[in-house]
Structure 1
């Protein structure tokens, strides 16, 4: 994932959704999807259909999660034969990997750990209609033609069942200017699972954005001691599926 060029070509549907607002490209993902910020307080996310996590599912999960935690308001969602899009209201915060935090990784990493724990404590797992269990993730991967190693079909026992983010990487928590977490984004895979599913990915993602040495800082901020076996399993599951 990267920040796209300011000369990035704007898809016609994005121009239509902008309805005259000025568009600034802010994010390019690994499958060619683009996110634009408008000058009237919206984000427009556009990209090819994604069999792993689609925007229809994301919109549904965001509407559900907003009853308990801060996530962007869904304004519009749609699709055509090849692409899909999602329009949300902007929130007054910046990603935990914004340039503002490159020189202050400890603040950002601890904020994401704290925010993840608050999310797990707030969303009611007994009311969650979706799963993000290893069995579901492996089945989804197989449907996409991925060969999953046999030993990953036997996950460790669930330590604590929570509603997981599903993509708890560092960029998906928004912080205010003082480094306090204010919201979560990119919830297309949200579902019930062992909390270590999220903790493993969130802590692993610190290395992608800030380099080595921050994994345990995030886990400490979350409020648990590192469970090395579960961390290893769920990081492998993420990488293999």
Structure 2
């Protein structure tokens, strides 16, 4: 695996030993591979299914942060319950309970993009409306994201300061998902959103930080022409300046 592919694995995947241990004899199959060779495995099936994320070569801090966010958010909106996380010699893992529905980029919903994109927009609006900004202990502000960007080598400190200086005024503060790409919305059999996953970056920010990326993601997953459908489902008109800005922030952070 070379770190460039993101999607449902197209070939058999070797299951890491920690995942097999946590599965405790239940059936395991890989259901997602991300750009940094992180894998998600489904364990079991039906109402009792679970999911285990595996990130090779990492210290587990990402999963510790995600577990804290899941525990906070699940009091307000459908997100997975964290069942455990840990660090092994070759990587880190996070185990969560399953939720109803399937990913918005499963074959069924890729074949029905209008329903999928509508569910994503409505789900994102419901998430933003449900999570209380005043009580949220996490930030996803431009300042906090750019402060970490130089460490990753994607932008110099001077470039980060310049980008922060030209940030547009905040439209509406919400608790953002932080990775609102299409795969992270779940959709039930009736075509309604049923939950959200992968909340490792959840935090308070302008709602356009989520909306800019969610609309962008429709291009990657369904093709051109679906951005306005998502915004209509959310209940907002396009804001080209904020969309362009927050997409640039996404690129460098």
TM-score (norm 1): 0.95
CA RMSD in angstroms comes to 1.7
CA contact (8 A) 2:18 2:88 kept: no
Separation in structure 2 between the aligned mates of residue 84 and residue 125 of structure 1, nearest angstrom: 30
Gaps of 5+ in 1: none
Separation in structure 1 between the aligned mates of residue 170 and residue 100 of structure 2, nearest angstrom: 36
Question: Residues 39 and 33 from structure 1, CA distance in 2 versus in 1: closer, same or farther, beyond 3 angstroms?
Answer: same
Separation in structure 1 between the aligned mates of residue 90 and residue 111 of structure 2, nearest angstrom: 40
Match of 1:175 in 2: 187
2:32 is aligned, of 21, 24, 27, to 27
Separation in structure 1 between the aligned mates of residue 27 and residue 112 of structure 2, nearest angstrom: 31
Match of 2:84 in 1: 76
Alignment of 1:97-108 (within 5 A): 97-108=105-116
Separation in structure 1 between the aligned mates of residue 134 and residue 98 of structure 2, nearest angstrom: 30
2:23 is aligned, of 5, 18, 24, to 18
Query: Which digits, 9 at most, give the CA deviation of each residue in 1:163-193, with x for residues without a partner?
Result: 0000001110000012100100000000000
Separation in structure 2 between the aligned mates of residue 4 and residue 134 of structure 1, nearest angstrom: 33
Alignment of 1:1-241 (within 5 A): 1-5=6-10, 7-39=12-44, 41-48=49-56, 54-147=62-155, 149=159, 151-154=162-165, 155-241=167-253
Separation in structure 1 between the aligned mates of residue 248 and residue 186 of structure 2, nearest angstrom: 26
SS in 2 for 1:125: coil
Consecutive aligned runs of 4 or more in structure 1 exceeding 3 Å deviation: 148-151
Corresponding pairs, count: 241
Q: Report the CA distance between 1:50 and its aligned residue.
A: 5.5
Gaps of 5+ in 2: 1-5
